Structure 1
Amino acid sequence: MKKWMKAIALLMVLIFVLAACNSEKAETTEADASEGGYEETTIRLAYNLPADHHISKGIEQFAKDVTEKSGGAVKVQVYPAGQLLSDKDMNQSILSGGVEMGLNSSTLWSSTVPAMGIFDVPYIFENYDKAGEFINGEFGDKLSAAMEEKGAKVLMYADYGYTQFANNKRPLKSPSDFKGLKIRSIGDIPSELIKAYGASPVFMGGGEVYMALQRNTVDGATSGTTAMVQRKYDEVVKYLTINNYAYLEFILAVNKDFWDGLPEKTQTLLTETAQESENWIRAQAKAEDEKTAKQLEEKGMEVYIVPEEDLPEWKEAGMPAWDAFTKNSGELGKELLELVDEQ
């Protein structure tokens, strides 16, 4: 009996010691979390670009880096290529909290913040470096503030690159060559430009364009050459005109209420990692534009590069698009154009 009593007593001592150790470990873990850890959270991130687009690669790396840097506490679940939301449904879902984070074009955001249409104003950014300077300065700050007022926190401006025109009917060597064509558009300002050139704009999402071109529902489309390669435009379109008329951005935005509810440390992690990805994407834009334009030519498309001395004619013919932007974008639009004019 004494042996059993001693064994029980020893067992109780061991249980007490283990409980004390576990309590100490829990306190240490809590202290570590408060000092340097991350609160567990899951963020759904949706986008529609093809998986091999340079922006898609940057977004995928962003999600991976956030998860790794947080030790797996902040999980970014990516839904690429329209798996979760179409580009037409994306913005409303972000604003309503249907998804925490999403990537969509500045063109489509212009229906929520009209001044975001500045990226579609033709011939406003003369080169890649100039576009980056504006986005990283007061110009970008004003747009981000306007987005927050609507309920979306801008986390990243992802450079898509320049947009061009492709069509099946004839080479577009001057604005007058657009007359009578049906051109797929991606928003209000591009539509105004297409109309100014004498063509009819037809709005549709990126995933619908290939079939529309194949079935002659439209005669042509406006897009970046990177997306043209990935969406196999060369199979259904003959002519490509490179005039660098607009420098398109894709916006990585977060639902503002969700953002405000995140711990400051998590916000800092997301902001800093997004900046790293933004810089990487910007560095890829020019190289991707040049590479994919060459690929389209090699695949059989007839490529016409508008000579620099002819661009004033294209810009003058496109002034109705400038007027439409000024009319619809209010005071903020005027401020942005003034910032551009000052440079």
Structure 2
Amino acid sequence: MNNQLRKLLTLASVSTFCLLGMTTAQAADSDLTVRIAWYMPPHTATADQGQAFADAITKLSQGKIKVETYPSGSLLKESNIAQGLSNNTVNAAIFGMHWWSKYEPALEWDTVPFLADDAGQLLKTLHGGLGKDVNALLNKHNVEVIGWGFYGYAESYVNSKHTIKTPADLKGLKMRSEGKLSAKFLAAQGATPVAVDSSEVYTSLQSGSLDGAVSGLSSIISRKWYEVGHYITAIHYVPLVYPIQVNAKWWDGLTQAQRDIISKAAVSTESQAVADIEKEFNGDIALAKKNGNEIYRPTEVELQHWKDTAGAQARKDYIAEVGAPGQKILADVDAALKH
């Protein structure tokens, strides 16, 4: 075989290998399906962000990456979604970071009231040291944050007994709590905290086994708790953080191009998520008023009392419970927002 023929055969082999490699890579891209779950009901900021994320993946990948969505708790509920993401029942999910607190107590940090005045402030902080520290804790549980979102402002109060103007008005009420810090605060005010899944609050209020519930105004309205609780106290507490999270092992198995597309899709939804919770808060107040509910917004003096009581107590309880990791997270927030 002469040298010229050898060169031709070598070139042909290389070309064939490259074509096969391209075909394999293209097939891998087209074979990828991303399973995304969230438990919030339709017409909430989280549900809208979940769908926007799914649509952005499809658009940015030109349909090569397929997306399956499992909304409204249709596959995983708020009580088991963290475990479902960790074991890759779904590849990605949007849900409250505080649901990780039973595995990583410091991740209840965003339920400490009045940490930030608005979600825009908090989003900037999450793209800095705070986000890195949060992600480091989640990485221990096979989870990675690729984008940030917000459920809305928490915590507001709904009940069937009377107007709640200050923390003292909680005394004697059986209230559904939202996390350990919320339960401690309620108990300190003379209320009886009760742990109830959000899907069971409506019937519990209806039957009288609960007098009221603590949650974001978003849940009070979207889950129709206002139908069985006449009195609503709407407070701009703190925007609960609902990150766009992925299973880390699955994520590491993707190509860089796939990760780039999915990351870009996640980040592209963040600004709208901030705008949506502001719009949702005001829209929820209007809807409840239209329904005939009494909506109470604390005065500046009363709001300061909430901050001095709920905010200060929650910070103290949080640090006492979680120690150094919690101190680091609060330091990140305070430094970024110059508290």
Confirm whether residue 308 of structure 1 aligns to residue 307 of structure 2: no
Partner of 2:235: 243
- Residue in 2 aligned with 1:68? 59
For structure 1, the residue ranges without an aligned partner over 5 or more in a row are: 1-23
Q: Give the root-mean-square deviation of aligned CA atoms.
A: 2.2
Larger mean CA deviation between 126-135 and 264-273 belongs to 126-135
Report the equivalent of 1:95: 86
CA offsets, 1:160-197, max 9 Å, x none? 22121111111001111100111112211221222222
Aligned residue for 1:87, secondary structure, equals coil
What is the letter of the counterpart of residue 75 of structure 2? L
Q: Supply the distance in 1 between the matched residues of 2:263 and 2:325 (Cα, whole angstroms).
A: 25
The partner residue of 2:320 within 312, 327, 342 is: 327
Aligned partners of 1:167 and 1:93: how far apart in 2? 33
Partner secondary structure for residue 286 of structure 1: helix
- Counterpart residue type for residue 236 of structure 1: V
Q: Which moved more, 1:320-329 or 1:291-300?
A: 320-329
Tell me which residue corresponds to 1:281.
273
Q: Cα distance 1:128–1:308, how it changes in 2: closer, same or farther (>3 A)?
A: farther
Question: Helix, strand or coil for the counterpart of 1:198?
Answer: coil
Deviations 1:226-279 (A, max 9, x none): 222221122111101122233212122211111111111111111111000122
- Return the letter of the residue paired with 2:36: L
Is 1:266 matched up with 2:258? yes
| Superposition deviation, residue 37 in structure 1 | 8.3
Whole-Å separation in 2 of the counterparts to 1:245 and 1:131: 13
Q: Quote the offset at 1:82 in angstroms.
A: 1.1
Amino acid at match of 1:322: R
Of residues 329, 332, 339, the one that matches 2:332 is: 339
**Structure 1: how far apart are the matches of 2:258 and 2:83?**
24
Shift of 1:32: 7.0
Structure 2 matches for 1:68-217, cutoff 5 A? Answer: 68-163=59-154, 164-217=156-209
The count of corresponding residues between Structure 1 and Structure 2 is: 320
2:24 and 2:323 map into 1 onto residues whose CA distance is 46
Moved more, 124-133 or 90-99: 124-133
Identify if the C-alpha distance between structure 1 residues 69 and 126 changes in structure 2 by more than 3 Å, giving closer, same or farther: closer
Tell me if the contact between 1:186 and 1:205 (Cα under 8 Å) persists in the aligned partners.
no
CA–CA distance in structure 2, aligned partners of residues 38 and 29 of structure 1: 14
Q: 1:59 maps to which residue?
A: 50
Alpha carbons 1:108, 1:186 under 8 Å: kept: no
Letter matched to residue 133 of structure 2: K
Which of 225, 228, 240 aligns to 2:217? It is: 225
- The question of whether the paired residues in 2 share the 8 Å contact of 1:180 and 1:199 is answered with yes
Distance across 2 between alignment mates of 1:37 and 1:308: 57
Higher strand share: 1
TM-superposition CA deviations, 1:81-128 (whole Å, max 9, x none): 111111101111111222222222122122222222111002221233
Contact 1:234 1:300 in 2 (8 A): no
TM-score by length of structure 1 reads: 0.86
Q: Does 1:299 align with 2:311?
A: no
* Larger gyration radius, structure 1 or structure 2: 1
Shift of 1:29: 7.6
Contact kept, 8 Å, 2:170 with 2:190, in 1: the verdict is yes
> TM-score if structure 2 supplies the norm length?
0.87
